[in-house]
């Protein structure tokens, strides 16, 4: 587990160590905030997205689970990426927005647009 000022990143290091091609893979990462809130994101590489689209015979990556895209899967790069998402706006805004995006009532956007 990598600890930072107000959140921690939990990576399955055994899974990470077994990855044969760090340029074509993905892994689950748990981000735990100091208030105890925990969210899971998938950290993967562009090559892995390409592989998955070819495997599933699709032409685009569909909306869904939160993905953080990195050049290669290493603990250091995963931490750097999560830190960037966390720091871009206060309180982990981007991580939380992506995590809850599928649960947001669309009428909220309609109301905001009307304003």
pTM above 0.85, yes or no: no
For the chain, the structural domain boundaries read 2-114
Please give the full DSSP string across 81-106, using - where no structure is assigned. Answer: HHHHHHHSSGGGHHHHHHHHGGGS-T
Instruction: Read off the pLDDT of residues 90-109 as tens digits, 9 standing for 90 and up.
Output: 778 888 888 888 788 888 88
pLDDT of residue 33: 85
Burial bucket for residue 80 (CB in 10 Å: 0-12, 13-18, 19+)? exposed
Kindly report which listed range (5-19, 29-43, 86-100) carries the lowest average pLDDT score. Answer: 86-100
Distance CA 58, CA 50 (A): 10
At residue 87 the predicted structure's pLDDT band, cuts being 50, 70 and 90, is: confident
pLDDT of residue 101: 82
Instruction: Read off the pLDDT of residues 36-52 as tens digits, 9 standing for 90 and up.
Output: 888 999 999 999 999 99
């Amino acid at each position: 587990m990598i600890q930072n000022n107000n959140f921690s990143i939990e990576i399955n290091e055994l899974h990470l160590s077994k990855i044969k091609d760090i340029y074509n893979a993905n892994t689950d990462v748990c981000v735990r905030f100091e208030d105890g809130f925990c969210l899971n994101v998938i950290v993967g590489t562009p090559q892995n997205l390409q592989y998955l689209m070819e495997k599933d015979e699709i032409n685009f990556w569909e909306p869904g689970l939160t993905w953080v895209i990195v050049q290669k899967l290493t603990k250091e790069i995963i931490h750097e990426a999560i830190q960037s998402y966390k720091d871009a706006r206060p309180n982990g805004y981007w991580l939380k927005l992506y995590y809850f995006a599928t649960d947001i009532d669309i009428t909220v956007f309609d109301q905001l647009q009307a304003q």
